Structure 1
Amino acid sequence: MLAVTAADHRSTGPVAVLANPTAGQGRHRELLPRLLARLADAGRPVRLLTAGTPGEAEAACHAAVAAGVGALVAVGGDGTVHRALQAVAGTTVPFGPVPAGTGNDFAADTGFPTDPLAAAGVIAEALRTGRDHPVDLARMTGAAGGGHRWYGAVLAAGFDAVVNERANRMRWPRGRLRYDLAILAELARLRPRRYTLRLDGVAHTLEAVLVAVGNGASYGGGMRICPDADLTDGLLDVVVGGRFDRRTLLRVKPRIHTGTHLTHPLVRRYRARTVELVAEGITTYADGERALPLPVRISAVPGAVRLLR
């Protein structure tokens, strides 16, 4: 009897699906049966993972990969993708994102259709033909054994991270209004912070309001904070917005949607394979998810995930 290799199992093994029914305020929830049926067109068994919390979702993905699934698919937004990436990063298990959230930056930046059913069709075709291709991920490591996280899109470590942290601490109100109130509160106390950046070992000390480290170009549902980032070049794009006052920040923020903020005289852009980022009082957000407190070390990892496209 012939042994089944990892490559053989990838071509025949079941497809595990992580789905977030609350993604995008639940507007795609009724699509899930059709999405599962579309994925089944690949001729593989499709297994829906069960989880009640983000932590359980991540654990379910790790368990599925450890059990030898042939592929992992995430149906949801960037948060759902982020959870799934923790399990497939650095493995041979191919991955497909179905964009069904409020922010779908990783799926968009890697060329998947914005329509969930169309994206599921692309993934099913890739499964059927055995096609996948590698793209980079970023791997962040905390200080003094503080763990590590993978991310696919952008790490926020400035004003946007501070706003997210405040919004997550607020019990009221719910929804977008809570985030808007957090923005107003942080604008009222806006001040540049002192950062130390070590880019491939070269230190830069600066004061800044915005700091983003991009594997991909976008965060926050299409804001092109690192517009020149390339997910296949083995490099991280670092964008720094310097000593903005409130008025300047409010003028520059809309330009981030189109990526034209890089021409502002207070904005700097760097590229590096490794980035060490140090500042006080900042908890980072990666792919929109709460990640590690500074200081962190971030490395670009070429070909860390194989996409079903």
Structure 2
Amino acid sequence: MLANPTAGRGRHRGLLPELLDGLAAAGRPVRLLRAGSAAEAEATCRTAVAEGAAALVAVGGDGTVHRAMQAVAGTTVPFGPVPAGTGNDFAMETGFPADPRAAVDVIATALREGRSRPVDLARMAGLDGTLRWYGAVLAAGFDAIVNERANRMRWPRGPRRYDLAILVELARLRPRRYTLTLDEERIEVDAVLVAVGNGASYGGGMRICPAADPTDGLLDVVVGGRFDRRTLIRVKPRIYAGTHVAHPLVSTYRARTVTIAAADITTYADGERSLPLPLTITAVPAALHLLR
């Protein structure tokens, strides 16, 4: 089990002993993986899987799940996400209970019964050959640009830093030229929002790709075109319900393989800083086996 004690601002930190006991009820020995950073967490998970772990469980938000997922993607080692973060989009989209105790009960039952359910993942390939996986959504537009600015800022701390980054980037808002290749179809478009979803939501329930299904072998692509500041501010709240896709400036596509090219954008996948554009994303059916 990989657990992030700071996930969700630490509100579930005291639950960890109970969650470990709940997982041990499956009748298997449980080892808690220690890590001092996100990179160390990912490396520790990879080592555990290489050494023969029978299953991997991640307790935390989408970032923790994303790191652990890299170790089991494309393998037969089953995986259990326990939602305990600020954003738990992958766990929610794949049917796990919102309560961490209930999620551990589901995972322990699946372990006892030797049962798992396959779901798709999205595999990213960077220009330099780097490969990464994600389960929910990759952001390659305004949201990614805001995250990148917020991560560069040293003041203020906490959520206010992200709010300030939004204000700065809204002031600088301009459509960028993207080249998208959707299977065999090539599209050039000026846009401010580009998202590629294996799942429907990101950012703690924002349904940016509302029709995405992590079991259909396809990626959903949502492109928000030449929005000005006022229109973007009006449309953005509609993302929570997924109704933004009805706006005339929003286009949706579906493909097995998507290549995205644009200048000076670093993408964010499952909310984590990921690969720079250009990159190619491929839907990989049954790439992950969930303990459900």
Partner in structure 1 of residue 86 of structure 2? 102
Aligned equivalents of 1:197, 1:109: Cα separation in 2: 26
Tell me the secondary structure at the aligned position of residue 44 of structure 1.
Answer: coil
The reply to whether residue 196 of structure 1 matches residue 196 of structure 2 is: no
Structure 2 counterpart of 1:254:
237
Structure 1 residue 195, shift from structure 2 partner:
0.1
Alignment partners' CA distance in 2, 1:278 and 1:98: 34
Cross-structure match for 2:131: 148
One-letter code of the match for 2:234? R
Letter in 1 for 2:58: A
Amino acid of the structure 1 residue aligned with 2:173: L
3-state SS of paired residue (1:270): strand
Gaps of 5+ in 1: 1-16
* AA aligned opposite 1:133: R
Residue of structure 1 in register with 2:261 after alignment: 278
- What is the distance in 1 between the residues matched to 2:155 and 2:131? 31
Deviation, 1:115, is 0.3
Separation of aligned partners in 2, 1:167 and 1:78: 18
Tell me the CA shift for residue 148 of structure 1.
Answer: 1.2
Runs of 4+ in 1 over 4 A off after TM superposition: none
Normalising to structure 2: TM-score of the pair? 1.00
Q: Match of 1:127?
A: 111
Displacement of 1:144 after TM fit? Answer: 3.2
1:78 paired residue number:
62
* Code of the aligned partner of 2:143: D
Map 1:22-37 to 2 at 5 A. 22-37=6-21
CA–CA distance in 1 between the matches of 2:193 and 2:56? 34
Aligned residue in 1 for 2:151: 168
Partner of 1:46, secondary structure, is coil
Which digits, 9 at most, give the CA deviation of each residue in 1:95-153, with x for residues without a partner? 000000000000000000000000000000000111101000000000133x1110000
Question: C-alpha distance in 2, partners of 1:230/1:132?
Answer: 18
What's the CA shift for 1:210? 0.3
Aligned residue in 2 for 1:69: 53
1:3-14 superposed matches below 5 A: none
1:142-170 deviation digits (Å, cap 9, x = unpaired): 0133x111000000000000000000000
CA distance in 2 between counterparts of 1:179 and 1:152 reads 23
Q: Of 270, 280, 288, which residue of structure 2 is paired with 1:305?
A: 288
| Partner of residue 212 from structure 1, selected from 184, 190, 195 | 195
Amino acid at match of 1:215: N
Percent sequence identity over matched residues?
77
Aligned equivalents of 1:156, 1:208: Cα separation in 2: 13
Matched, 1:90 2:94: no
1:182, 1:121 → 2: CA distance?
A: 39
Cα displacement (A) at 1:290: 0.2
**1:224-276: CA deviations, max 9, x gaps?**
00000001100000000000000000011000000001100000000000000
How many Å separate the matches in 1 of 2:261 and 2:40? 31
Residue 123 of structure 2: which of 139, 142, 158 is its match? 139
Pair 1:222 & 2:205 matched: yes
2 CA distance for matches of 1:194 and 1:286? 21
Amino acid at match of 2:89: D
- The secondary structure found in structure 2 opposite 1:275 is strand
Which amino acid is the alignment partner of residue 247 of structure 1?
R
Q: What one-letter code is carried by the residue in structure 1 that aligns with 2:56? A: L
Q: Which residue does 2:224 correspond to in 1?
A: 241
Separation in 2 of the partners of 1:46 and 1:252? 46
Q: Distance in 1 between matches of 2:173 and 2:216?
A: 35
Aligned to 2:273: 290
The superposition leaves residues 273-301 of structure 1 with CA deviations (integer Å, 9 ceiling, x where unpaired) of 00000000100000000000000000000
Partner of 1:9: none
- Partner residue of 2:30? 46
Does the residue aligned with 1:304 lie in a helix, a strand or coil?
Answer: strand
Letter matched to residue 33 of structure 1: P
Deviation at 1:202, TM superposition (A): 1.2
Deviation at 1:201, TM superposition (A): 2.2
Counterpart AA for 2:187: H
Matched, 1:269 2:257: no
Size of the alignment, in residue pairs? 292
CA RMSD of aligned residues (A): 0.4
Unpaired runs of 5+ residues, structure 2, are none
Residue identity matched to 1:106? F
